[in-house]
Chain A
């Protein structure tokens, strides 16, 4: 919702093709390559006429850039290959869209809080988004950016890894949480909801029985950029209870 509202505020027309579903990453990365193939094809189909495609999940973009061509190549599918070649140049990860395509670092956002940033592995090592998200955070009025120690360390999510190796995944998460808390931030931002879900799940479990008071809130970068003086993002709008009222 934040992506839609923000882009509309910036004067763009946003379309969400309801027939779209999944980029195929979960199946592909778990080894279900045959099952991922039709998902990939139908996704590209749904976006055949789109001018610019924004994906607010870095790891989905990494799936597209790193594997779509490879899948076409491995299945010897020339038609799919030409689809991929037309599809990929139109795909932008959210922070890439704002900085590269729209040329902005200040989107008129207002968020008077201390925020740390978790560079998700796929945004960092596969997309090489670099300091784009940090520049965007620093362009937000009132925002105090708090660097994170061990920022490049994985949060432990890793897709099906989180359930197949749940114990190791949560040990990795605990390391990440130590770094998140050390930053003394009120919010931890990222470009991937999957990492945020992992971090959120850990923080919530840790604070069990203590209420939500003082807990660090995970938030997608788009939600911060969508926050304005007129329509600010508040702690309440991110709380767990809100989601299930």
Chain B
């Protein structure tokens, strides 16, 4: 098995990546501006919904039910998709999915693009294909992938990585995008307004839409009842990708299946309002198998596991698979607001990335991510399918500590010893009080003008950036005891 999430396994830990980004004022300004704008739009579109909480409850209930019966619904989807003219392939992991895609693209290219020495595909935004590193896999095989989602195209041109699950180029501003376009589109002139950039992208992409005969898409929902696939987007480029090519290959994470067509009623309200603050998406594409003389004549679905089934066993972990990739938790997160997505070292960033990446990938990777949160709860508050992200973060921290405590290095780590010592003192109040007195004496070593400076060990993290008051001469406990004995003496 080769389960992996992008390049997560090779990335440094969150605090190290964050350190670099915190020094990058331009990126931080871009992230702050973009998240503030989307957050405000979302708030507006959620406030106007009298039944928002019921919708969230419904979304959670449908997802919970589906995940409890996932094998059943996947097979129903497969049966109905095949009946409608589609072909369904099952991939256990990233390598298997890429191998299937490559084989399908080669076969299709021989039929529909025989004149090309290098087969080409046009892609509509799919995070799942980034998860399995599809573009790199295709390029290794001499296949050229063209990202057609505007933001994904910017990321591809910049040899960059997505920093947001809905707005992958959120860390770039207009001027940086303009530079990329000038460099990559062979242009000599280009205006600076958003409309100029959009027009340039339109010209550039239109050619691809007309020339390339193989499309690759992801999916927002796979509907078991009808075997249909649903993709929502804002640009219309996705609509081109799923309708114009002769062959369409759609990569779907197995958690994306929903039981009934009518369930879209709930999700197509929750998703656009949460993701982009729109009442509905400008483009909602739903297709079912193939139709003679209309749209792609060959349609393949690749159903991807890549670590998902092992998350099904535990109810707390399973809930993460409720995610409909709206990105609301990223926009609401005060940590993401400071660091942007690249600090998470995964294509899945922000609060949902902090729980999804380590679970998909295995806890040995991304182990700093469950700690990349102040547990403020803003993510849970906005999640349209009620994933209790803070609770899941705490659960994953528990798994990390449990695993560490089984190793000698983990047992002897400063943190573990400190936590054990603190727990011991909290269980023995007299020793706790003695420790307070001892700390008051000991703090003289670090005290300067009433504050503690340059504390050793883990506490250094505090005093590096903030001041800490020295312990007072009299603790509350001492005050209480003195007061009590006075009252008793008076009586």
Which of B96-104, B196-204, B424-432 forms part of the interface with chain A?
B424-432
Cβ of B15 < 8 Å from any Cβ of A? yes
CB distance from A79 to the nearest CB of B (A): 19
What is the distance, in angstroms, from A120's C-beta to the closest C-beta of chain B? 9
A90 to B419, CA, bound (A): 29
Contact A169 B419 (CB under 8 A): no
Q: Are B374 and A121 in contact (CB under 8 A)?
A: yes
Q: How many residues of A contact B (CB 8 A)?
A: 64
With contact pairs A27-B419, A165-B15, A243-B469 given, residues A154 and B334 touching in the complex (Cβ less than 8 Å): yes
Cα–Cα, bound, A124→B335 (Å): 18
Which of B215-223, B236-244, B252-260, B457-465 lies on the face that meets chain A?
Answer: B457-465
CB distance from B415 to the nearest CB of A (A): 8
Contact A201 B462 (CB under 8 A): yes
Contact A33 to B450, CB < 8 A, known contacts A42-B427, A161-B375, A245-B473: no
The answer on a CB contact under 8 Å between B423 and A200 is no
CB under 8 Å from chain A, chain B span 223-279:
none
Q: CA separation between A22 and B429, bound complex, in Å?
A: 10
Instruction: Please name all residues of chain B whose beta carbon is closer than 8 Å to the beta carbon of A228 when the two chains form the complex.
Output: none
B400 CB within 8 Å of chain A: yes
Say yes or no for B373: interface residue by CB 8 A criterion.
yes
Bound form: Cα–Cα A13–B419 in Å: 35
Contacts of B461 in A (CB 8 A): 162-164, 166
A-B contact count (CB 8 A): 180
Which of chain A's residues has its CB closest to B480's CB?
A16
Verify A244–B18 contact, CB threshold 8 A: no
Could you tell me if A240 and B451 are in contact, using CB atoms closer than 8 angstroms?
yes
Please determine whether B378 and A165 come into contact, CB atoms closer than 8 angstroms: no
| Chain A residues with CB below 8 A from B399, complex form | 31
B73 contacts A by Cβ under 8 Å: no
Contact residue among A18, A153, A165, A243 (Cβ-Cβ distance under 8 Å from B472): A243
- A residues in contact with B373, CB < 8 Å: 158, 161
Say if the beta carbon of B181 comes within 8 Å of chain A.
no
Contact bitstring B381-424, A, C-beta under 8 A = 1, else 0: 10000000001001011111110000000000001000110110
Contact with A along B463-491 (1 / 0, CB 8 A): 01111111011001101110000000000
Least CB distance from B22 to A in Å reads 6
A78 contacts chain B at the CB level, 8 A cutoff: no
Verify if A80 is at the interface (C-beta below 8 Å from B): no
Q: Is the CB of A33 within 8 A of B458?
A: no
Which residue on A lies nearest to B394, using beta carbons? A29
Q: Known contacts A38-B427, A154-B374: does B397 contact A165 (CB below 8 Å)?
A: no
Which chain A residues lie closer than 8 Å to B419 at the CB level? 27, 30, 32, 35
Bitwise interface map of A from 150 to 162 toward B, beta carbon under 8 Å scored 1, else 0: 0011101111111
> Per-position contact with B for A98-137: 1 when CB-CB < 8 Å, else 0?
0000000000000000000000011011100000000000
CB pair A165–B14 under 8 Å, yes or no, is: yes
**Which residues of A lie under 8 Å from residue B370 when comparing CB positions?**
31
Alpha-carbon gap, A36 to B402, bound state (A):
13
The 0/1 profile, CB within 8 Å of B marked 1, for residues 165-176 of chain A is 111111111010
Known A-B contacts A19-B429, A21-B432, A39-B427; the reply to A31 vs B465 at CB < 8 A is no
B374's partner among A24, A172, A245 (CB-CB below 8 A) is: A172
Q: What is the chain B residue whose CB lies nearest that of A241?
A: B450
Are A121 and B378 neighbours in the complex by a CB distance under 8 Å? yes
Knowing A168-B335, A172-B335, the reply to whether A244 touches B22 (Cβ < 8 A) is no
Q: Is the CB of A27 within 8 A of B374?
A: no
Q: For the complex formed, measure the closest distance between the CB of B104 and the CB atoms of chain A, giving whole angstroms.
A: 43
Q: Which residues of B contact A208 (CB under 8 A)?
A: 467
Interchain nearest-CB distance for A243 vs B (Å): 4
**A31 and B401 contacting across the interface, CB-CB below 8 Å:** yes
A244 to B449 CA separation, bound complex (whole angstroms): 9
Q: Which of B13-35 contact A (CB under 8 A)?
A: 14-15, 18-19, 22
Known: A169-B465, A170-B466. A21 touches B374 (CB 8 A): no
Q: A126-B377, A243-B472, A244-B470 are in contact. Are A18 and B397 (CB under 8 A)?
A: no
Q: Is A20 an interface residue (CB 8 A)?
A: yes
Contact B18 A205 (CB under 8 A): no
Known: A29-B375, A30-B401, A125-B376. A201 touches B394 (CB 8 A): no
| Chain A residues near B90 (CB-CB < 8 A) | none
Q: Is A28 an interface residue (CB 8 A)?
A: yes
Determine if B372 is an interface residue (Cβ-Cβ < 8 Å): yes
Contacting residue for B15 out of A1, A154, A167, A175, CB 8 A: A167
Q: A205 vs B449: C-alpha distance in the bound complex, in angstroms?
A: 12
The verdict on A204 contacting chain B, using a C-beta distance below 8 Å, is yes
- Bound complex: CA A4 to CA B448 (Å): 31
| Contact assessment for A170 and B401 in the assembled complex, using a CB-CB cutoff below 8 Å | no
Contacting A20 at CB < 8 Å: which of B400, B422, B429?
B429
Chain A contacts of B377 at CB under 8 A? 121-122, 124-126
- Tell me whether B450 and A243 are in contact (CB under 8 A): yes
Contact check, A156 vs B374: say whether CB atoms are below 8 A apart.
yes
Q: With a CB–CB cut-off of 8 A, which chain B residues contact A152? A: 378
Candidate in B391, B426, B466, B470 with the most chain A CB atoms within 10 angstroms: B466
B420 and A166 form a contact (CB under 8 A): no
B371 and A161 within 8 A (CB): yes
Please indicate the chain A residues that have their CB under 8 angstroms from the CB of B376 in the complex: 121, 125, 154, 158
Q: Given A21, A33, A35, A166, which contacts B429 in the complex, CB threshold below 8 Å? A: A21
User: B380 an interface residue at 8 Å Cβ cutoff?
Assistant: yes
> Chain A: which residue is nearest B440 at the CB level?
A244
Instruction: Tell me the B152-177 residues at the A interface (CB within 8 Å).
Output: none
Q: Which of B19, B396, B427, B467 contacts A167 (CB 8 A)?
A: B19
8 other contacts beyond A122-B377, A172-B337, with CB at 8 A cut-off? A31-B400, A33-B402, A39-B423, A158-B373, A159-B375, A163-B459, A197-B469, A245-B473
The 7 closest A-B pairs by CB, nearest first: A158-B374, A31-B397, A201-B466, A166-B461, A170-B465, A163-B461, A31-B401
26 contacts between A and B (CB under 8 A): A27-B422, A31-B397, A32-B398, A32-B419, A39-B427, A121-B378, A122-B377, A125-B380, A125-B381, A154-B376, A157-B374, A165-B18, A165-B371, A167-B22, A168-B339, A169-B374, A170-B466, A171-B22, A171-B338, A172-B374, A200-B469, A201-B467, A240-B469, A243-B469, A244-B469, A245-B473
Query: Footprint of A on B, CB under 8 Å?
Result: 14-15, 18-19, 22, 334-335, 337-339, 343, 370-378, 380-381, 391, 394, 396-402, 415, 419-420, 422-423, 425-427, 429, 432, 447, 449-451, 458-462, 464-470, 472-473, 476-477, 479-481
